[in-house]
Structure formats: structure tokens, C-alpha cells
Amino acid sequence: MVTVEIILPLAIADTYTYSVPDAMACPEAGMRVLVPLGKKTITGLVYRLNPENSAATVNSSYKIRDIIEVLDSSPIVLPSQLELWRWIAEYYLCTLGEVMTAALPARLLDNDYTARTEVYISLHPRFRDVEELQGVFNSLRRAPKQKKLLEYYLELSDAFAGPPHPIEQRILVEHSGESTAVLRTLIEKQILVASHEVVSRIPSYDSAIEPAHPLMPQQLRAVGEIEAAFANQKVCLLHGVTSSGKTEVYIHLIEQMLSEGKQVLYLVPEIALTTQLTDRLKKVFGNRLGVYHSRFSDMERVEIYKDLLSTGAAKVILSARSGVFLPFSRLGLVIVDEEHDGSYKQQDPAPRYHARSVALMIAKSAQAHVLLGTATPSIETYYNAQTGKYSLVEMSERYAGLQLPRISIIDLQRQYHRREMYEHFADPLVDKIREQLSAGKQIIIFQNRRGYTPYISCRKCGYVPKCCNCDVSLTYHKHTRSLVCHYCGYTIAAPNDCPNCHGAWRDNGIGTEKIEDEVQRLFPEARIARMDLDTTRNKNSHQRIINAFAQHEVDILIGTQMVTKGLHFSEVSLVAVLNADSMMQSPDFRSYEQSYQLLEQVAGRAGRSGSQGEVVVQTFHPDHALFGYLQNHDYAGLYREQLRERKMFRFPPFYRLIVITLKHRDNVRLDNAARELHGLLNTAFGTRCSAVIVPPISRVQNMYIKTIRLRIEANASFAQAKRIVMQSIRYVQTLANCKGTIIQPDVDPM
């Protein structure tokens, strides 16, 4: 009996054994198959064939069931991809099925992809003969409409230059001005023939291709250094200040790769936020650019996937993190732009992978190079560059000699004390905004909370409306007059007053909606737009806001971190950060680093052409060391300080972390599981294991949450540590008093 190991999209086991019926040709690894599972039929993927009469088959006490059908005639997943899946499953402690679910476009896996077809019209082959064709024209003397349509077809299809080619029916009818009825008659007479042709959903780029910009001296030097670095080392960090022209450096390197027939993967944190970049790349690379979207069209994803698989063409693929799963066969370079960005890490569900780490893996196995680019490297990456694991190339000047923005810090405590505030705007900030408005400049105001106010409370009894599913207060949204849970989406109409005592509400803290109100009152003449999750839910809304701002139909743009990422507006002279404190005070060990990255990136939107831009940061803690680094654009200083702290408090890059999250609807069972697991891990790992932690938000969507954190020395065996973790988790899951506890390990958490 021939048996095969099948990956199923489940989180239970890695593979499942099925047998190949005698009459069936044996499938290859990487092909999809239909298999029975319980009473259902499910699509799986062949992982490998077992040697005939292998031990696995003979010893199995289960009844091995037959494959129902093989769905592919050739593999849709390459051996190199399967190897990568195996690595991810082992490294990030999940099953192959979970990796497969993340790796393949859903419609490819479900096999419910349908090709798009259009009706094409062509000339019946009989009439390729000129005399026959002349005969047809004679016969149509009394049917001028049919004659005209036929002439039109021949003209459009270049019939006089060679054999006529098929024309899309829609285009033929539109251009000729004749009706489909006339066309139908010609088809009935068998003069023209209609056929269904498969067409691509990937929008084709038909405008003129522009050459890349000639590089400036700093960029030329960087390209030279990167190429030299790649001769010795596979990975290079390009540390270039905001607006130093990194994109053009990438473009130059990509051109080089494509001309050598290689493929390039260009990773960006979030594809929806990169319309400006997409437009730029399209102009240079035309149809050699593929954009792998995750958000809107799974059908298009399938087509990009299939295209790479079948042609192996030299292309550059622009993608968010899931691009690492594409079937590259000739990968030459992976660019990880904004490598510090947290959205490269998938949080939920498993696999909880970091696309930067996976990119390093795929490049390694393809012998390709990796370029990590950013103005604000992650501490880990910079450490690797400092210790010689990666090469380092710097660009410290802005493009065309522009200066980095000037950064002013405003002391909110002093401002409130002196009553020199208008609502949440310090007077000096108001003056600066007014100045820039009257100079015809644009302004960006950054606030990291959406909604109107993060929470409301009763002025009399202090009551705070909370989510019924989560342990968080509800955010007030004024536009919809509702209270919304930002964790689970639970929404209720906002009550007029306190349901307990009818006291009036007090607002606590500010969100983007409230800023919008205040800006409207302060600058009634200004045109204002807001960009946050609430205003960008529709497919094109994000693009519309960016376009309006780029065309200066908007003077002031208010937004959450969406406004920090990669946007280039030439008229922005002032960027304001209304309150820098909330992000800096988060207890996470990365909050300091991330605050710096965010502030430097927001600041990077200012003064991108013409005169020097300005950034105003409001804070209650103006003496915080972070602002000193920010004002001097002193990344190296921040890095040295952070590295000291990371060492002292045992964090990456000196230690590797695994955070284990336990969840249960029943708090008692959760307690049992946390205690049992902690007991095992504490015995094995000693002081490397934390106590059981109750997180600040200890219940989400009716699940109670507890966590345990492990720190493993960077030079210790991580693999062995993970084996112990998995054994311990599996053991706890067998205990009756812990039944139903969800236990999720997160390796290298962000």
C-alpha cells in the first residue's frame, strides 16, 4: 500500500496519513488532494510520500483512508516552499496546517478559484482566404450594418498586416457603434466566431515607462557600498534618514536584478498605505511589477501566485508580509523596507511569524541577498549590523540637500499652569499653525487614538461604561453617537447621561475626532481631513484622502499612525504631535524604541521639499532623554542607551523571548492551567521563567487571559527550550482540571 503524508488546514497535527488507491496515479509532493475527514471532505496538500510498507503504515492502529481525488496535474507548492513551511512550524511552534493557511491564498486552497473569461470574436478560418473573404463582402451588399461591423473587425484586428487576431466583443461593439444583434447575425452566418478566453485580473499597465531618476552622489555611493557589501555578506542594513532617497536606491538595485533575470521581493509594512510607492514603481517597472494584495481581492492573489509558479518570470513583487510565501524560483533580492515596523509580525492567528526573519530564511535557501532599509532600525537589526553579522550602509543627508526638520518640545504642564492653552493646543503651537496656514502650507496633526474620547466617566458617581465582553472601557465616537470597544467591536448607542445617577459625562483623553472638532473651532477657514481606521474602511477611501491632501485640497490632515508611514507630501511644513506621553508610558520593553521610531517617522513627513520643516511635540515630560535624541536625530545615542537597558533587564538581542498566552472562558480552569504550566516551566527554566502574569487587559471577547514569559540566553539552545515548552503545553492540555484552555506560544514576540 502506498501512503502519503497530507497537510490539512488544522491546528492539531502536522500531517495526516492517507493511502493512494490502486487505480489512482500517485500524487507528488505539493499537489492538492481531496480527502475524507470524519464525515466531511476536505482539501489538503501532499507533504511527502511514504516509502512503501513504511513503519508508519504498518504500525498504525488507525484505519488509513483513501485519497478521494488528486486535484492538480503538477505541484502548486515548490519543494523549497515546503521546506520553509517546515522551518516556520518548528521555529514558531505551530502546525504545518497553520502555516499552509497563512501561506496560500484562500481560494487556491479551497480550489474555488475561477478564471475570469471574456467573449472574444475572431474571423472564421475559412475566410483567411482573400477570395472567400471577397465573396462574403459581396454577399453583404444589402446588409450595410453587418458589412460595416465586419470591416471594423478587420481593421481592429490588423487583418492586413497578418492573420486577424481575436478582438474582445465588448471593444468591437463599442468601437464600431453597431449593436450586438448585428454581431450575433454575423456569428449565426458563421462569418465571425465567438469564443470564451481566459483573461487576467491583474490590471495591466499601459502608460509609458519612465527611466529611473539618475542617482545623486550620496545614492550612488550607497549603491556602490551595498553592491560591495553583497559580495561578502548576504544581508545589508541601509540606514538612511527620512527622505534620503532610499526608494531610488532600491529601484536601481531592482533594475540590476531584473536585467540578470532574477526575481525581487519588495516587502512593505502595509500595502494599503503605499499608493504613492506603487505608482512610482509602476512608472519604472510597468508590468514587471506585481502587487500582492491581501486586503481586497483573493482572486488577484491567486493569479500572481500562479503566474510566478508557471512562468518563473523576472518580476518584482511588492507585498506586505505574506509575500514571503510566494513561489519564487529565481529570487535574487529581498528588500525589507521600514524593517523596524511592528506589522511585519503576525500576531494572530498562528503562525506568529516575523516576515523579516522569514525573508532572511528564504533568501538564505535561494542564495539571494537581503536589504533591510529604514531611518530608524530596530535595536536587534542595528545590533547585528554593529557586531558584523550584517553590513551597514548609511545615508545621513536628505535628498537634494534638504535639512532634517527642526524639533521643538512644548511643556504641557507649564502651558496648563499658565493657562496658555486652547483646549488641547498650546498657544505657541496655535500660532505656528496659523503662520503656516497663511503662508499657504500644509500641516499634519498626529494623535495616536481614534474616536472622540478614549473613555467617558460620570462627573457625579465616577461610573465608566465598559465592554461586556472585554475588560476595557468603551471609546466614545461622536460622529456615530456610539460607545465602541476597540478590542471586540461591541457597540452601543451612547446614553445621554449616567445610567446610575443621571450625572453628566466627563471626557477623558483625546481621540482624532475630538482633535478635528477643536481644529475646526480654532481654524474655521482651514480645510480639514481626518485619516484613521474609521475614515478608511472602504476600498478607496484611504487613497481619496491622500490624493486630496497631495493636491492641496486639504490644509490640515489629522490622523493616527497611518499618517506616519512613507507618505510624501511636498507642501507639509509643520507636523504636530499633540501628546507624546501615552505611547512612551506603555509598559512594553520596546515602547521607548517604538516611540522614537514613530516620532522620527512622523517628523519625516515635514519639510520634504523647499525650506526646512518643523515638528512640534507636546508633552508633560519635556526632560525625557528621548526628546534629546529626537532633537539631534541621534539614533546612535538612543541605540546605545537602549542596548544598555536591554542587557541589564535581560531582553533581546541578549535574550530570546517566548510568551505563552493562556485563555479560557472559565477563570478557574484558566488558573489551574496557568499554575500547572508555570510549575513545569519553572522547574525546567528556573529564573528564566516569569511568574504568571495577569495582563493589563485581562479579558477579551469573554476569554480570561494569563501569560508566562520565558527568557532564553541568546547563546543557549533555543530549539531545546522550545521542545520543553511544547512538551509542557501538551501535558497541561491533557489535564482534566485545565480542560479547554487555549495555550498559544509566541516566539520572538513584538
Residue 628 has φ and ψ, to the nearest 5°, of: -60, -50
Helices (H) and strands (E) in the chain, counts: 24, 33
**Out of 95, 244, 448, 642, which residue is the one contacting ligand ADP (CB under 6 A)?**
244
Answer for which of 406, 459, 460, 568 binds ligand ADP (CB under 6 A) is 568
- Residue 221 binds ligand ADP (CB under 6 A): no
Q: For strand 572-577 and strand 442-446, is the pairing parallel, antiparallel, or unpaired?
A: parallel
DSSP bridge pairs for 289: 316
Query: Do residues 441 and 613 make contact, with C-beta atoms less than 8 angstroms apart?
Result: no
- In the bound state with Zn ion, the residue whose beta carbon lies nearer, of 219 and 453, is 453
Nearest distance from C-beta of residue 455 to Zn ion, angstroms: 13
Shortest Cβ distance from residue 454 to Zn ion (Å)?
14
Q: Which does 506 bind (CB under 5 to 8 A by kind): ligand ADP, Zn ion, none?
A: none
Q: Does 550 bind ligand ADP (CB under 6 A)?
A: no
Tell me: does residue 399 bind ligand ADP (CB under 6 A): yes
Tell me: does residue 484 bind Zn ion (CB under 5 A): no
Question: Distance between CA atoms of 249 and 245, rounded to whole angstroms?
Answer: 7
The residue from 240, 451, 607, 749 that contacts ligand ADP (CB under 6 A) is 240
The answer to whether 392 and 236 are in contact (CB under 8 A) is yes
Among 87, 113, 463, 490, which residue interacts with Zn ion (rule: CB under 5 A)?
490
Residue with smaller CB distance to Zn ion, 29 or 488: 488
What, of ligand ADP, Zn ion, none, does residue 469 touch, CB below 5 to 8 Å by kind? Zn ion
485 binds, options Zn ion, ligand ADP, none, Cβ within 5 to 8 A by partner type: Zn ion
Q: Which of these, 209, 339, 315, lies nearest to 255 by C-alpha position?
A: 315
- Among the residue ranges 111-119, 210-218, 297-305, 661-669, the one whose residues contact ligand ADP (CB under 6 A): 210-218
| Beta carbon of residue 511, minimum distance to Zn ion (angstroms, whole number) | 17
Please name which of 174, 155, 173 lies closest in space to residue 164, comparing C-alpha atoms: 155
Give the per-residue contact string, 441-480, with Zn ion (x = CB under 5 A; - = no).
--------------------------x-xx----------
Decide which of ligand ADP, Zn ion, none touches 597; Cβ closer than 5 to 8 Å per partner kind: none
Contact segment (CB under 6 A) with ligand ADP among 12-20, 119-127, 241-249, 290-298 equals: 241-249
Stretch 286-325: interaction string toward Zn ion, x if CB under 5 A: ----------------------------------------
Bridge partner residues of 425 (DSSP): 422
Task: Tell me the closest approach of the beta carbon of residue 246 to ligand ADP, in angstroms.
Answer: 4
Does residue 246 belong to the site contacting ligand ADP (CB under 6 A)? Answer: yes
Task: Between 8 and 470, name the residue whose CB sits nearer to Zn ion.
Answer: 470
Interacting partner of 449 out of ligand ADP, Zn ion, none (Cβ under 5 to 8 A depending on kind)? none
Q: Which is nearer to ligand ADP, 242 or 263 (CB)?
A: 242
C-alpha–C-alpha distance, residues 268 and 448, integer Å:
21
Q: Which stretch binds ligand ADP (CB under 6 A): 89-97, 215-223, 359-367, 474-482?
A: 215-223
Q: Rounded CA gap, 100 and 32, in Å?
A: 12
216 near ligand ADP (CB under 6 A): yes
Residue 487 interface partner, choices Zn ion, ligand ADP, none, CB cut-off 5-8 Å depending on type: Zn ion
Look up cell 450625572; give the residue: 503
Q: Where are the beta strands (DSSP E) in 60-115?
A: 65-66, 69-70
Nearer to ligand ADP, 286 or 509 (CB): 286
User: Which has the closest alpha carbon to 90: 329, 347, 279, 353?
Assistant: 353
Cα gap 4→17, rounded to integer Å: 6
DSSP state of 446: E
Strands 703-713 and 699-700: antiparallel
DSSP 26: P
HSE-up (13 A, CA, CB side) for residue 462: 0
What SS3 class is residue 166?
coil
Inter-residue contact 512 to 453 (CB < 8 Å): no
Residue 146, CA atoms < 13 Å, CB-side half-sphere: 19
- Cβ neighbour number for residue 347 with a 10 Å cutoff: 11
Helix (H) or strand (E) holding 493: strand 491-493
Among 113, 152, 205, 487, binds Zn ion (CB under 5 A): 487
Closest-CA residue to 532 (of 561, 494, 490, 503): 561
- Which range in 23-31, 48-56, 168-176, 211-219 contacts ligand ADP by CB under 6 A? 211-219
Residue 309 or 470: the one with the smaller Cβ distance to Zn ion is 470
Distance CA 249, CA 214 (A): 10
Site residues for ligand ADP per CB under 6 A:
213, 215-216, 219, 240, 242-248, 399, 568
Site residues for Zn ion per CB under 5 A:
467, 469-470, 485, 487-488, 490
